[in-house]
Chain A
Amino acid sequence: MIRALVARLRQKHRTIAYPAVVPELPDRWRCRPVIAADLCVDGCRACADVCPTGAILTGSTPPLIDLGRCLFCPECAAACPTGAITYSRDHRMATRGRDDLIVGDELRLARALDDAALRVFGRSLKLRQVSAGGCNGCEADVNVLSTVVFDLARFGVQFVASPRHADGLLITGPVTRNMEAALRKTWEAVPTPRLVIAVGACAISGGPYLDHPETLNGAAAVVPVDLHVPGCPPHPLTILDGILRLLDKLPPT
Chain B
Amino acid sequence: MMPIANGGRVSLREVPQLPVERFREEIVAAVGRGGRLSAFFGRPDGDGTLLLALLSSGETSGLAAVSARVGDAYPALTPDCPQAHWFEREIHESCGVTPEGHPWLKPVRFPRGDVGTADFYRVEGPEIHEVAVGPVHAGIIEPGHFRFQCHGERVLHLEISLGYQHRGVERGLVGGPDRRTMPYLETLAGDTSIGHASAGALVIEALAGLAAPPRADALRGVALELERLANHTGDLGALAGDIGFLPTAAFCGRLRGDFLNLTATLCGSRFGRGLVRPGGVLFDLDPTRADGMKARLANTLRDTTAATDLLWETATVLSRFEETGIVTPAACAELGLVGPPARACGLERDVRYEQPCGIYRFRQIPVSTWSTGDVLARANVRALEIQRSAEFVAALIGSLPEGPLRTPTGALAPDSLAVALVEGWRGEICHAAVTDDRGRFAAYRIVDPSCHNWTALALAMRGQEISDFPLCNKSFNLSYCGHDL
A-side residues, CB < 8 A to B, are 3-4, 7-8, 10-11, 14, 25-30, 49-53, 71-75, 78, 87, 129-144, 146-149, 159, 161-163, 173-174, 176-179, 182, 186, 202, 207-209, 212-215, 232-233, 235
Among B120-128, B165-173, B323-331, B370-378, the one that faces the other chain is B165-173
* 8 Å CB contact of A133 from B136, B171, B267, B481: B481
Q: Is the CB of A131 within 8 A of B143?
A: yes
Q: Give A215 to B314 CA distance when docked, in angstroms.
A: 46
Cβ-closest chain A residue relative to B142 = A131
Q: Is the CB of A208 within 8 A of B180?
A: yes
Q: Give A142 to B111 CA distance when docked, in angstroms.
A: 28
Complex A-B, nearest 8 residue pairs according to Cβ-Cβ distance, in ascending order: A135-B190, A137-B190, A28-B268, A147-B253, A161-B138, A214-B168, A178-B115, A208-B183
Q: Is the CB of A177 within 8 A of B113?
A: yes
B179 at the interface (CB under 8 A from A): yes
* 8 Å CB contact of B187 from A11, A208, A213: A208
Q: Is the CB of B167 within 8 A of A214?
A: yes
New contact pairs (12) apart from A135-B188, A214-B111, CB-CB < 8 Å? A3-B313, A4-B310, A4-B314, A30-B268, A129-B140, A131-B140, A131-B141, A131-B165, A139-B140, A144-B257, A177-B166, A207-B187
Q: Give A140 to B273 CA distance when docked, in angstroms.
A: 14
Please name all residues of chain A whose beta carbon is closer than 8 Å to the beta carbon of B265 when the two chains form the complex. 26-28
Q: Is the CB of B164 within 8 A of A182?
A: yes
> What's the A-B contact tally at a CB cutoff of 8 Å?
184
Query: When A75-B179, A177-B113 are in contact, do A4 and B268 touch as well, CB less than 8 Å?
Result: no
Please name all residues of chain A whose beta carbon is closer than 8 Å to the beta carbon of B269 when the two chains form the complex. 29-30, 72
Q: Is the CB of B310 within 8 A of A7?
A: yes
| Chain B interface residue number, banded | 35 or more
B271 at the interface (CB under 8 A from A): yes
Q: Is the CB of A7 within 8 A of B247?
A: yes
Please name all residues of chain A whose beta carbon is closer than 8 Å to the beta carbon of B267 when the two chains form the complex. 28
* 8 Å CB contact of A136 from B136, B189, B266: B189
A235 to chain B, nearest CB (A): 8
Please name all residues of chain B whose beta carbon is closer than 8 Å to the beta carbon of A137 when the two chains form the complex. 187, 190-191, 193, 271
Q: Give A203 to B364 CA distance when docked, in angstroms.
A: 41
A68 to chain B, nearest CB (A): 15
Please name all residues of chain B whose beta carbon is closer than 8 Å to the beta carbon of A87 when the two chains form the complex. 268
Cβ-closest chain B residue relative to A131 = B142
Q: Give A74 to B310 CA distance when docked, in angstroms.
A: 41
* 8 Å CB contact of B250 from A51, A147, A209, A215: A147
Cβ-closest chain A residue relative to B181 = A52
Q: Give A162 to B136 CA distance when docked, in angstroms.
A: 9
Please name all residues of chain A whose beta carbon is closer than 8 Å to the beta carbon of B164 when the two chains form the complex. 132-133, 176, 178-179, 182
Please name all residues of chain B whose beta carbon is closer than 8 Å to the beta carbon of A202 when the two chains form the complex. 187
A58 to chain B, nearest CB (A): 15
Query: When A52-B179, A140-B190, A143-B140 are in contact, do A11 and B261 touch as well, CB less than 8 Å?
Result: no
Query: When A30-B269, A149-B257, A208-B180 are in contact, do A232 and B142 touch as well, CB less than 8 Å?
Result: no
B184 at the interface (CB under 8 A from A): yes
B355 at the interface (CB under 8 A from A): no
Q: Is the CB of B191 within 8 A of A140?
A: yes
Q: Give A173 to B190 CA distance when docked, in angstroms.
A: 11
Q: Is the CB of A148 within 8 A of B310?
A: no
Please name all residues of chain B whose beta carbon is closer than 8 Å to the beta carbon of A30 when the two chains form the complex. 268-269, 274
Task: Name B189-241 residues within 8 Å CB distance of A.
Answer: 189-191, 193, 234
B136 to chain A, nearest CB (A): 5
* 8 Å CB contact of A213 from B168, B250, B313, B479: B168
Q: Is the CB of B250 within 8 A of A173?
A: no
Q: Is the CB of A176 within 8 A of B191?
A: no
Please name all residues of chain B whose beta carbon is closer than 8 Å to the beta carbon of A53 when the two chains form the complex. 180, 183
Q: Is the CB of B261 within 8 A of A71?
A: no
B110 at the interface (CB under 8 A from A): yes
